[in-house]
Structure 1
Amino acid sequence: MWVTTPDRTELLTERPSVTFGAKPSDQPTIVVDSRRTYQPIDGFGASLTDSAAAALQKLAPNVRDDTMRRLFDPITGIGVSFLRQPIGSSDFTAASEHYTYDDMPAGQTDFPLHNFDISHDRLAPLPLLREAKRLNPELKIMGTPWSPPAWMKTTGSLVGGRLKDDTSVYDAYARYLVEFVRAYAASDVPIDFLSVQNEPQNRAPDAYPGTDMPVAQQVRVIEALGPKLRRASPGTRILAYDHNWATHPDDIATTPPGSPPETDYPYEVLRSPAAKWIDGTAFHCYYGDPSAQSALHTEFPDKGIWFTECSGSSSLGEPPEKVFRDTLAWHSRNVILGATRNWARSAVNWNIALDHTGGPHNGGCATCTGLITVRSDGTVTPGAEYYTIGHMAKFVRPGARRIASTSFGTTGWNGQIMDVAFRNPDGSTAVIVHNENDDPRSFAVTSGDQTFEYSLPGGALATFLWPPSKALENKLEYIPLTAATATGMPAHAPAATAIDDDASTRWTTEQPQQPGQYIDIDLGRPQIFRRLTLDSGGDLGDYARHCDVYVSDNGADWHPLAGGAGAGQLTVIDVRLAQARYLRIATTASAGNWWSLAEIALYR
């Protein structure tokens, strides 16, 4: 296991191994279930922007080589496995003037793209990208434009404006993006993913390239791009949207008169004819929360979700220790755990490197931070984002799949333990755990019928990794309760929260335990099961001191099935093979604690 603490006394520090055992725990318990699988993983990383490349190239060759190894080597470094590259200029560029790969004098056009040229990138960042691919051959690369060439736009400027609503312009822009993919591939940097516009609803960029691209225009671009890209580079996948979890109020406020704010932008694109060319949707972190990803996945389960941008930031004069602590906490909850628990196949920060001033940049963000900072004396300092990404990228390899794990914390902070789990292609399991509380918190991890306990310092982030083991495989199959309904007595809290497969929510009596309190579950149809688990969540002591389980075929005539004393937060009740449509779990003892049920699960 490896730990990073907010006070920086441990920075991705390997601690002594812990051992699974057969003894159950009375602590909040993370149940890891490798039989329940979710999205595949493409990688974790950042963007090797023009500014990042400039900062890295200023380093002495031996320092730069060491820094690249620390970033990309999976063994000696953190194994960054995903990079999102600007196509042309962004706000983070060292150039004095913004650029694309086909700039023309004012009033002139280049529809044949005769002047298309990536010479700017041949000095940087392409050499660094090739080195990154050498250090980590599994590295995936995504391309994203901040603006089409100005001659394609209504304003004639890279800053703001829209594409001209002209079929020949849509066609030219599609060919421009294909030329980028071809040129990078010819430079030994193949492009795995492509979006057609960074933050298409950011209509007022602060002196840096940006484009207002309404849904209808994104659809037109993708319809023109799809067939061309499939012929030129069939392995490159198109991602839609590439903007925030929710539409920012400023973006709504700048909507042109007479135009809709398009607050359901990704839904509209995926409902359009362009959807056949789209593999999924890309999201950023600057407004909303990660649950938006799950909502989109529910409506479009055959389309992937990628999380592609989030920058840390520091206010002027803010102490470095506070920047580190706050960034570690927020990014752990929202990017590392929140994005991936909500179907993201990637977790990608903004700049992979910046200088000590937070630059160089040309317009845009003056407070952004990178994974690493290049100091004026030529040394390199890793920031909090280096460690949050490192806790994932080093241990969760491309091709891994997220697997089920109980998580009690929330992205908005509730002071509990939050986690996510993955099964790697080699069969190993990685569990990343964050203690949201400022105080130490103890918990347990169960896989199969084996358990270990651990205590994490306040605010710490940890990764646990174990090799393939038959003893740690789940032998029983989880029964989804998506069609089930529940009622509780007393009826203070919604009983449905006890069967929603989300341990950060709970049903509770809101009063001390006493005999006669119960929760009834209608499974929707008869189910055969052999195990029932009652998880009381992260609030210690809220487990039933004793309870009985009843079954019924009609919800009126109840028959006793099992009963016994609870000994901790997770109570496991094994029964002979049983069949029932209705379950009742009733307390039969008194205690000063409330009775809470964060999650009820059935297995067969």
Structure 2
Amino acid sequence: MYQTMLGFGGAFSDSTGLNVVSLSSEVQEHFLRSYFAPEGIGYTFGRVPIAGADCSTRTYSYDDVEGDVDLVHWNLTYEDYDYKIPLILRAKELAPYPLKLFGTPWAPPAWMKTNGMFNGSGILLEEMYQPYANYILKFVEAYEAEGAEMWGLTPANEPLGGFIDWGINTCGWSSEAMRDWIKGNLGPTLEAAGYRYLKMMIHDFNRDSLPWYIEPILEDPDAAQYIDGTAVHWYEDRNTDPEVLDEIQFEYQDMFLLYTEACQGADVSGSAESVKLGSWQRAEDYVYDMMETINHFSTGWVDWNMALDTLGGPNWYNNFLDSPVIVNTEENEFYKQPMFYAIGHLSKFVAPGSNRMASLTTATDLQVVAFNVESGRALAVILNMAEEERNVTVRDGSEFYLNFAIPAKAIQTILY
């Protein structure tokens, strides 16, 4: 046995919510059931941006009154009340397992940063360490009051983005600054308010910044006491060795790994096709990464937007993207892409509490991952990346074996 799985999911971004609520109530219900209901693909995670992200129609925070260090003017916005919270509450009702929600801030209020901007090169002013910790606490409390209790948090999305002229919402955090803020402000603030149980996941960026980014934080016991896991994004996975995930798991065995963001089609120049309806290659890329990272100790995989429009938005920075579901508002319909079904090969069958088993394949164009699932049965997911059919034999170490053919460019899930 290896890691116990936590689950799969996607983000309740502003763009997702705006697209979904543009549909009729009947189609909205079908959308949510497709992702969360037992007859859907079994999502059990929901990532919640704390205020605005690039997948919003504007830049904003929960307190844009400059100098309001006491957060007198802090408030949720219409994006929360109209786009995020209603979908979250219905998803909670539909999901057969408790829905794990975790919040992630892209940027603090602009006036708390050194550059006075939501984006660009800038870090949090040191005198804002405690006000910003209070800001995060207010989010947790406000969502709990609305019935959307958080399971966890990541302190910052892509914390190295703020050291370059990053176009989207960001804030730069060095390892040392993040360590000091967690141990001196964020951790104690959440603990004092009764939220020590929240699963705090550091990093929330690509694995090419591992393990060096997390080491100064986790090697400080005053900071590490508040940390439960490492969050990873998929964007540099094809350019970095997955064994770095093994290294982290072996070094920090009491903490978990979780993939917390992935998407296809990113292009701000407008020269690429952000949305590719029906793309099998994008589905194959997704499921390959899911299988590879789980084979290297990830406890789950959380996608970015659950729905975007036919252009891949809205996005205030024109950072248009692809999504497993594309919404056509004019026709009051949505399209489930191959990516949606690729995710479902794992998310629908690998419930929280399932355990990964050792697995291997002798063919370079086959990928496999295996589990003991809650029912006590075994499950194997097999990806054939070849251009032709492959004959496969599944053996589980006992006398059991199964022979079958997997078609070219196909995914199959075997439950036995």
Same fold (TM over 0.5): yes
Q: 2 CA distance for matches of 1:325 and 1:281?
A: 30
Secondary structure of 1:148 counterpart: coil
Task: Give the one of 14, 28, 41 matched to 1:50.
Answer: 14
1:442-453 equivalent positions in 2, closer than 5 A = 442-447=391-396, 448-453=398-403
Equivalence for 2:45: 82
Deviation larger for 281-290 or 210-219: 281-290
Superposition deviation, residue 319 in structure 1:
9.3
Q: Deviations over 1:515-568 (max 9, x none)?
A: xxxxxxxxxxxxxxxxxxxxxxxxxxxxxxxxxxxxxxxxxxxxxxxxxxxxxx
Q: 2 CA distance for matches of 1:407 and 1:84?
A: 33
Q: 2 CA distance for matches of 1:197 and 1:69?
A: 30
> What percent of counterpart residues are identical?
29
Aligned CA RMSD, in angstroms, stands at 2.0
Superposition deviation, residue 165 in structure 1:
4.3
Task: Give the one of 394, 402, 407 matched to 1:457.
Answer: 407
Contact 1:408–1:418 (Cα < 8 Å) also in 2:
no
Gaps of 5+ in 1: 1-36, 248-261, 467-604
- Residue 311 (str. 1) matches residue 274 (str. 2): no
Equivalence for 1:111: 69
Q: 1 CA distance for matches of 2:46 and 2:387?
A: 32
- Residue 387 (str. 1) matches residue 341 (str. 2): yes
Equivalent AA in structure 2 for residue 139 of structure 1: L
Contact 2:275–2:311 (Cα < 8 Å) also in 1:
no
Q: 1 CA distance for matches of 2:120 and 2:242?
A: 28
Superposition deviation, residue 49 in structure 1:
0.5
- Residue 344 (str. 1) matches residue 344 (str. 2): no
Superposition deviation, residue 129 in structure 1:
0.5
Equivalent AA in structure 2 for residue 88 of structure 1: A
Secondary structure of 1:40 counterpart: coil
1:488-503 equivalent positions in 2, closer than 5 A = none
Q: 1 CA distance for matches of 2:275 and 2:133?
A: 46
Superposition deviation, residue 60 in structure 1:
1.1
Q: Deviations over 1:148-192 (max 9, x none)?
A: 1112111111113434442x4211111111111111111111111
Task: Give the one of 361, 364, 367 matched to 1:418.
Answer: 367
Contact 1:141–1:192 (Cα < 8 Å) also in 2:
yes
- Residue 217 (str. 1) matches residue 177 (str. 2): yes
Pair member with larger Rg: 1
Equivalence for 2:208: 246
Q: 2 CA distance for matches of 1:308 and 1:318?
A: 21
Q: CA separation of 1:149/1:418 partners in 2, compared to 1, >3 Å: closer, same or farther?
A: same
- Residue 437 (str. 1) matches residue 386 (str. 2): yes
TM-score, normalising length: structure 1: 0.64
Q: 2 CA distance for matches of 1:42 and 1:205?
A: 35
Task: Give the one of 104, 119, 133 matched to 1:144.
Answer: 104
Superposition deviation, residue 100 in structure 1:
1.1
Gaps of 5+ in 2: none
Contact 1:206–1:364 (Cα < 8 Å) also in 2:
no
Superposition deviation, residue 318 in structure 1:
8.4
Contact 1:153–1:161 (Cα < 8 Å) also in 2:
no
Equivalence for 1:587: none
Q: 2 CA distance for matches of 1:385 and 1:305?
A: 22
Q: CA separation of 1:222/1:380 partners in 2, compared to 1, >3 Å: closer, same or farther?
A: same
TM-score, normalising length: structure 2: 0.91
1:368-383 equivalent positions in 2, closer than 5 A = 368-375=321-328, 376-383=330-337
Q: 1 CA distance for matches of 2:332 and 2:166?
A: 30
1:170-185 equivalent positions in 2, closer than 5 A = 170-185=129-144
Q: Deviations over 1:362-417 (max 9, x none)?
A: 11522x111200014221101122112211111111121212222346xxxx42x2
Q: CA separation of 1:205/1:183 partners in 2, compared to 1, >3 Å: closer, same or farther?
A: farther
Q: 1 CA distance for matches of 2:55 and 2:211?
A: 27
Task: Give the one of 289, 292, 298 matched to 2:250.
Answer: 298
Q: 1 CA distance for matches of 2:226 and 2:341?
A: 35
Q: 1 CA distance for matches of 2:166 and 2:208?
A: 20
Secondary structure of 1:278 counterpart: coil
Superposition deviation, residue 205 in structure 1:
5.8
Secondary structure of 2:169 counterpart: coil
Equivalence for 1:528: none
Q: CA separation of 1:225/1:319 partners in 2, compared to 1, >3 Å: closer, same or farther?
A: closer
Q: CA separation of 1:364/1:211 partners in 2, compared to 1, >3 Å: closer, same or farther?
A: farther
Q: 1 CA distance for matches of 2:314 and 2:99?
A: 25
Structure holding more helix per residue: 2
Secondary structure of 2:214 counterpart: helix
Q: 1 CA distance for matches of 2:308 and 2:241?
A: 26
Q: 1 CA distance for matches of 2:305 and 2:241?
A: 21
Q: 2 CA distance for matches of 1:408 and 1:211?
A: 45
Equivalence for 2:307: 353
- Residue 269 (str. 1) matches residue 269 (str. 2): no
Q: 1 CA distance for matches of 2:274 and 2:233?
A: 24
Aligned residues: 401
- Residue 324 (str. 1) matches residue 279 (str. 2): yes
Secondary structure of 1:180 counterpart: helix
Equivalence for 1:11: none
Q: CA separation of 1:449/1:302 partners in 2, compared to 1, >3 Å: closer, same or farther?
A: same
Q: CA separation of 1:303/1:407 partners in 2, compared to 1, >3 Å: closer, same or farther?
A: farther
Equivalent AA in structure 1 for residue 311 of structure 2: T
Equivalence for 2:356: 402
Q: CA separation of 1:115/1:266 partners in 2, compared to 1, >3 Å: closer, same or farther?
A: same
Secondary structure of 2:228 counterpart: strand
Q: 2 CA distance for matches of 1:268 and 1:440?
A: 48
Contact 1:173–1:221 (Cα < 8 Å) also in 2:
no
